[in-house]
Amino acid sequence: MIDRYAVIGNPISHSKSPLIHTGFAHDSGQAMSYTTLEGPLGQFAATVNQFRAEGGKGLNVTVPFKLDACAYATDLADSARSAGAANALKFEGDRCYAENFDGVGLVRDITHNLGHALRGQRVLLLGAGGATRGAVLPILQQSPARLFIANRTVAKAQDLVAEFLAHGTSAVLEGGGYGDLGAAEVFDVVINATSASLGAELPPLPASAFAAEGLAYDMVYGKGLTPFLQLAQHSGVAHLADGVGMLVEQAAEAFAWWRGVRPETRCMIERISVPLQ
């Protein structure tokens, strides 16, 4: 019996998830198939119900359905609950379990693949949307010296920080606008969690925010040197990375959750990486 998995989104034809998970299954000897599933807008629940009725075991979830997945699930992991969104579902009988592995994948890529520790570091997260929500707790679990969330709409960043602090999150978490980043403030790790790079745009970030020996990380992948990474490069940042490692690592977390086997990720990251030039 071949177990069925898929990634649901709209649009979805561009997704690299089938390539990644098919490779994982081959390398780990798992009897499973993995395909794309384009969900009509407004019909997430109906589409998932049909997939389950046809024997589907689990789903990865991407734009624009991560909030729908969180609402659909019967059982939310802390990662999904704190993010208010889910990127992986697992079906067992009438139960639907939800996880959000985006932040875990981000942290593993930074600390394990790139070898850049977050403990004791000054970390700047750009944006206050779903990507940032998923990243906050995994980053805080690494015990940074400071985690600042900067957003164009200041109130949104401050509200997000207040929400996490209300649930007992570390006081090293702060939030505000880009204008709150003074010329003397330098961050060891700067992570672009906005969608600006998708449109070749640049968040209004002062070049002085980058530490020369630090890391500039763009969650967008496959775009080469995005405007954000170009700014970091011109500012003399020693280490640049896009989100391909995050993509593969979050996929590996979902695969392990579903199958009980965590695949090796290095070869897959190298396979689908685009040179930063």
Query: Do residues 203 and 190 lie in contact, with contact meaning Cβ atoms separated by under 8 Å?
Result: no
Query: Do residues 98 and 80 lie in contact, with contact meaning Cβ atoms separated by under 8 Å?
Result: yes
Per-residue three-class SS string for the chain = CCEEEEEEECCCCCCCHHHHHHHHHHHHCCCEEEEEEECCCCCHHHHHHHHHHCCEEEEEECCCCHHHHHHHCCEECHHHHHHCCCCEEEEECCEEEEECCHHHHHHHHHHHHCCCCCCCCEEEEECCCHHHHHHHHHHHCCCCCEEEEECCCHHHHHHHHHHHHHCCCCCCEEEECHHHCCCCCCEEEEEECCCHHHHCCCCCCCHHHEEEEEEEEECCCCCCCCHHHHHHHHCCCCEEECCHHHHHHHHHHHHHHHHCCCCCCHHHHHHHCCCCC
Marked catalytic residue, from 16, 57, 66, 90: 66
Tell me whether residue 16 is one of the annotated catalytic residues.
Answer: no
Query: Do residues 103 and 137 lie in contact, with contact meaning Cβ atoms separated by under 8 Å?
Result: yes
CA distance 173 to 188: 15
Measured torsion, CA atoms of residues 67, 71, 75, 76, in degrees rounded to the nearest 10: 30
The catalytic residues are 66
